[in-house]
């Protein structure tokens, strides 16, 4: 700003306006006072300087010396300053400048201004990119947990688990949570986040849509069976050709780990008896005491699971079939595990309660004899 003699007040002045300015620098040696006065070109020198500062310049002013200019504006101020003319006098007033003889100001450099429309286009483009990224992330995340739902599943709604919950419960089905693996699929340990209940999740490959309805219906029907020596089926989830069956978690694993894998300590006679009695009790309930006859069709040591108290529980009903009491089973498809199949099964191709009992006998033989089940297969 500068002081206007005419108006008697300070007036704002922009140094980056591009208009020529007149600057006076005076030093009073007697009073040791440095004064700087500024005004637009053509305005008489203001009576009040822009700034005054007491300072002793005697130590800087020598008998013989040169006078020149040195300045710097740095990189933060987007402006240029030019000295068009100057005069100097070491005593008294300096000679006035003839403004008409001063060279014209250099032509100002045109700064590239971004039009408002372009700024708007850039902002919209950035917003669209962000929306696309967020949308893609949402689709990928949703596809990750995508499930298949059919109309017929409404009947079994309460028994269906949300895949996302099972995925989190089993920590993304990581290998650290893997309990067992085989031809039937993989079994993972999990903890439901909502209730902190431990579960076992079996992932069964089932690519064919044909028959999945009947398979789920059979599984859910068997899931209604309640007995202390049967592993409880809690529900299922179907996703991308993969069926997930959710069971109660058995902390002591399967019986075969005690018999064949040397992963567990040996069982004493009382423990063995309690396990066999429990499995027999569960099998009797399936065959005679429930509202329908349930054929397990795959009784073996790896399907006998042990709870925290080492009680035997029959599990894995993936091959089971139901039929009414007093009727004959209709299935003619031979399934099961070699070594546990009754001899007549290969001839009649019909599973019965007797074939289940034979498999139970083959399961208990290693416990009674303390010898592993030896299976010899020969081809003719």
What is the three-class DSSP state of 257?
helix
Name which of 93, 6, 83, 92 is nearest 43 in CA terms.
Answer: 6
DSSP labels for 124-143? HHHHHHHHHHHHHHHHHHHH
| Cα–Cα distance measured from residue 268 to residue 271, given in angstroms and rounded to the nearest whole number | 5
Has 298 been annotated as catalytic?
yes
Neighbours of 364 (CB within 10 A): 19
**Please, how many CA atoms are within 13 Å of residue 316, restricted to the half-sphere of its CB?**
25
In sequence order, the 6+-apart residues with CB closer than 8 A to the CB of 12 are: 1
Q: At what angle do helices 353-369 and 269-284 cross, to 10 degrees?
A: 180
Note the Cα 306 to chain centre separation in Å.
35
**Please, how many CA atoms are within 13 Å of residue 135, restricted to the half-sphere of its CB?**
6
Q: Does residue 255 contact residue 275 with C-beta atoms inside 8 Å?
A: yes
The CA-based angle 72-75-80, given to 5 degrees, is 60
Q: Does residue 227 contact residue 279 with C-beta atoms inside 8 Å?
A: no
Q: Does residue 189 contact residue 177 with C-beta atoms inside 8 Å?
A: yes
| Cα–Cα distance measured from residue 209 to residue 293, given in angstroms and rounded to the nearest whole number | 27
Location of structure tokens 């240029």: 80
Location of structure tokens 């019909």: 350
Helices and strands of the chain, counted as H and E runs: 7, 14
What is the three-class DSSP state of 86?
coil
Beta pairing, strands 242-248 & 198-205: antiparallel
**Catalytic residue of the set 26, 175, 207, 298:** 298
| Cα–Cα distance measured from residue 269 to residue 40, given in angstroms and rounded to the nearest whole number | 112
Location of structure tokens 């000679």: 95
Which sequence positions are flagged as catalytic?
298
């Amino acid at each position: 700003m500068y002081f206007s003699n005419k108006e008697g007040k300070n007036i704002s002045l922009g140094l980056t306006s591009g208009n020529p300015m007149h600057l006076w620098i005076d030093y009073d040696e007697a009073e040791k006072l440095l004064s700087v006065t500024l005004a637009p070109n053509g305005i008489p020198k203001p009576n009040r300087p822009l700034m005054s500062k007491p300072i002793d310049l005697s130590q800087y002013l020598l008998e013989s010396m040169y006078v020149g200019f040195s300045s710097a504006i740095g990189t933060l101020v987007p402006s240029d300053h030019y000295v068009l003319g100057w005069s100097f006098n070491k005593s008294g007033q300096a000679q006035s400048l003839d403004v008409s003889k001063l060279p014209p100001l250099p032509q100002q450099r045109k700064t590239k201004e971004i039009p408002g429309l372009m700024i708007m286009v850039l902002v919209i483009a950035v917003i669209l990119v962000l929306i696309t990224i967020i949308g893609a992330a949402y689709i990928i995340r949703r596809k990750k947990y995508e499930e298949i739902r059919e109309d017929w599943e409404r009947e079994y709604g309460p028994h269906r688990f949300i895949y996302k919950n099972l995925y989190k419960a089993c920590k993304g089905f990581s290998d650290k949570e893997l309990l067992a693996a085989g031809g039937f699929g993989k079994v993972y340990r999990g903890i439901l986040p909502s209730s902190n209940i431990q579960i076992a999740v079996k992932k069964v490959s089932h690519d064919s849509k044909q028959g999945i309805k009947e398979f789920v219906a059979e599984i859910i029907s068997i899931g209604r069976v309640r007995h202390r020596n049967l592993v409880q089926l809690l529900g299922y989830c179907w996703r991308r050709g993969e069926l997930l069956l959710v069971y109660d978690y058995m902390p002591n694993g399967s019986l075969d780990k005690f018999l064949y894998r040397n992963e567990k300590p040996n069982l004493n006679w009382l423990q063995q008896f309690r396990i066999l009695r429990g499995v027999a009790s569960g099998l009797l309930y399936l065959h005679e005491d429930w509202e329908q006859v349930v054929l397990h069709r795959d009784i073996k040591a790896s399907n006998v699971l042990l709870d925290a108290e080492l009680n035997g529980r029959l599990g894995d009903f993936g091959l089971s079939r139901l039929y009414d009491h007093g009727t004959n089973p209709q299935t003619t498809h031979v399934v099961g595990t070699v070594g546990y199949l009754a001899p007549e099964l290969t001839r009649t191709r019909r599973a019965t309660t007797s074939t289940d009992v034979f498999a139970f006998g083959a399961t208990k033989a290693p416990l009674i004899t303390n010898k592993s089940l030896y299976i010899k297969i020969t081809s003719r």
